[in-house]
Amino acid sequence: MFEKQDLLDIARMPMPFGKYAGRMLIDLPEEYLLWFRKKGLPAGRLGQLLALTLEVKIEGLEGVIRPLKK
């Protein structure tokens, strides 16, 4: 389960490291999130948000998140 704050965070939180550092989590490519899941998501809050971001993308719900970026 997720909270409203989780949706706000994936819309507004930048990726803190790596190839896509600075890009908002919702803007990360699905392929990158799939690769990360295969390699092992980071522990803690970031890993949880990346997993949620991937689920949002798989379900085609990005349109619900994008308006929250403001």
pLDDT per residue over 7-48, tens digit each? 999 999 999 999 999 999 999 999 999 999 999 999 999 999
The residue to which tokens 């706000």 are assigned: 8
- Domains of the chain, by residue range, sit at 4-69
Pair 66, 11: CB distance under 8 Å: yes
pLDDT of 66 reads: 86
Q: Locate all alpha helices (DSSP H) within the chain, ordered by sequence.
A: 4-12, 30-39, 44-58, 62-65
More confident site: 30 or 70: 30
